[in-house]
Structure 1
Amino acid sequence: MHICHICFVCTGNICRSPMAALVFGEHLRRAGLLDRVRVSSAGTGGWHVGDPADPRTGHVLARGGYPTDHVASRLGSDHLDADLLVAMDEGHARALRARVPDRCR
């Protein structure tokens, strides 16, 4: 069975994309779908690689009952090979179009 890979993309991978990935992943877990969908996140820039999520992000996630475990990563080939790339804003969409124009709408 093919496991669908969904990747959320923002700038530094410490706020928006990890929050989206962790919330989405938790809803998939609650629905019993983690065996069918893999969720990841990445940043277009690499200056936060290895860092945890921003403390404010962690606080909001914890307050909502979502997981807070995250290690920032930079957009790489594994992320770009995802079945679905979700840009957090138009700037991220432009960055994705520049890297993989045939995969973007």
Structure 2
Amino acid sequence: MGYSQAEKTNVLFVCMGNICRSPTADAVFKHHVKSAGLEHFIYIDSAGTHAYHIGNPPDRRSQQAALKRGYNMQDLRARKVAPEDFSRFQYILAMDYHNLELLQKDCPPEYQDRLGLFLQYSNQWNTRKEVPDPYFGGSHGFEKVLDLVEDASQGLLKHLSDQYRTNAVER
């Protein structure tokens, strides 16, 4: 049985240009969701706060680092956060404080509680709050992004799974 996007929990990952961090989070989280058998319950997307790269695939270095770990991002294309995203997505997770602030400025008051930092779901990186932008660095930066995103993806998946169990018990 298929579920419409409106019936799913919708998660949006956001960085600046939507070519490095947020598509990495998109691909990694989709992989974990599918592995958990929850792809019928969770819709995942990514976007940028800026329109620098609309329609472009993720950065080649991001794709290469992700492929080494088994994550495929080749079908993803950059887009800018749209006004309707604030009502469509229950979780709008920024990669850093700067992009979170930009989202907070554009987000209607009734949806502010949907905004947060992705690393708030991290289990291993408790003191780190931001996923650093690897764009101007070397390959080690893309590996670090993957380390952070993999951990936060597991934490977010656990959070959502716990919510589904709680909701199922309450019904």
Q: TM-score range by the shorter chain?
A: over 0.9
- Select the residue among 76, 79, 82 that pairs with 1:73: 79
> Residue in 1 aligned with 2:12?
7
How many residue pairs match? The answer is 105
Q: Which has the higher strand share?
A: 1
Contact 2:24 2:66 (8 Å CA) reproduced? yes
TM-score when normalising by structure 1:
0.93
Question: Could you say what secondary structure the match of 1:46 adopts?
Answer: coil
Matched, 1:39 2:44: yes
Match of 2:98 among 91, 94, 97: 91
User: What 5-or-longer segments of structure 2 have no aligned partner?
Assistant: 114-171
Question: Which AA in structure 2 matches 1:71?
Answer: R
Separation in structure 1 between the aligned mates of residue 105 and residue 83 of structure 2, nearest angstrom: 14
Question: Cα RMSD between the aligned structures?
Answer: 1.3
TM-score (norm 2): 0.58
Looking at structure 1, the residues matched to 69 and 112 of structure 2 have their Cα atoms a distance apart, in angstroms, of 32
Quote the Cα distance in structure 2 between the aligned partners of 1:78 and 1:30: 29
1:104 corresponds to:
112
Structure with max Cα Rg: 2
Alpha-carbon offset, residue 101 of structure 1:
5.1
Where has structure 1 moved over 2 Å in runs of 4 or more?
77-81, 101-105
